Amino acid sequence: MDDSRYSRQELLIGKSAQKKLCGSHVAIIGIGALGTAASEVLARAGIGKITMIDDDVVKLTNLQRQLLFDESDIGTMKAKAAAEKLKKINSTIRVESYLVRVNKKNISKLVGKPDVILDCTDRMESRFIINEYCLNNKLPWIHGAALKHSGQIMVFNFRKKNQPCFSCAFGNSISTETADTSGILAATTVTTATAQATEAMKLLIGIENVKGLLRFDVLSHDTLIVSVRKRPHCISCRK
Strands 94-98 and 49-53: parallel
Closest CA relative to residue 67, chosen from 43, 90, 38 = 38
Contact 212, 227 (CB under 8 A): yes
Q: Which of 34, 168, 197, 200 binds Zn ion (CB under 5 A)?
A: 168
CB of 4: closest distance to Zn ion in angstroms? 43
Strands 116-119 and 25-29: parallel
CB of 226: closest distance to Zn ion in angstroms? 15
Report helix, strand or coil for 115. coil
Amino acid (one-letter) located at 200: A
Quick check: 165 binds Zn ion (CB under 5 A)? yes
Residue numbers 208-237 binding Zn ion by CB under 5 A: 234, 236-237
Contact 21, 47 (CB under 8 A): yes
Closest CA relative to residue 28, chosen from 8, 11, 47 = 47
Q: Which of 152, 167, 188, 196 binds Zn ion (CB under 5 A)?
A: 167
Q: Number of residues in contact with Zn ion, rule: CB under 5 A?
A: 6
Quick check: 200 binds Zn ion (CB under 5 A)? no
CB of 136: closest distance to Zn ion in angstroms? 13
Sign of the Cα torsion 165, 168, 173, 175 reads negative
Count Cβ atoms below 10 Å from residue 169 Cβ, excluding itself: 21
Contact 188, 151 (CB under 8 A): yes
Task: Mark the segment that binds Zn ion (CB under 5 A) among 90-98, 140-148, 168-176, 189-197.
Answer: 168-176
CB of 169: closest distance to Zn ion in angstroms? 8
Q: How many residues does the chain have?
A: 239
Quick check: 201 binds Zn ion (CB under 5 A)? no
CB of 114: closest distance to Zn ion in angstroms? 21
Quick check: 198 binds Zn ion (CB under 5 A)? no
Task: Mark the segment that binds Zn ion (CB under 5 A) among 9-17, 151-159, 160-168, 191-199.
Answer: 160-168
CB of 231: closest distance to Zn ion in angstroms? 6
Quick check: 157 binds Zn ion (CB under 5 A)? no
Q: Which residues bind Zn ion (CB under 5 A)?
A: 165, 167-168, 234, 236-237
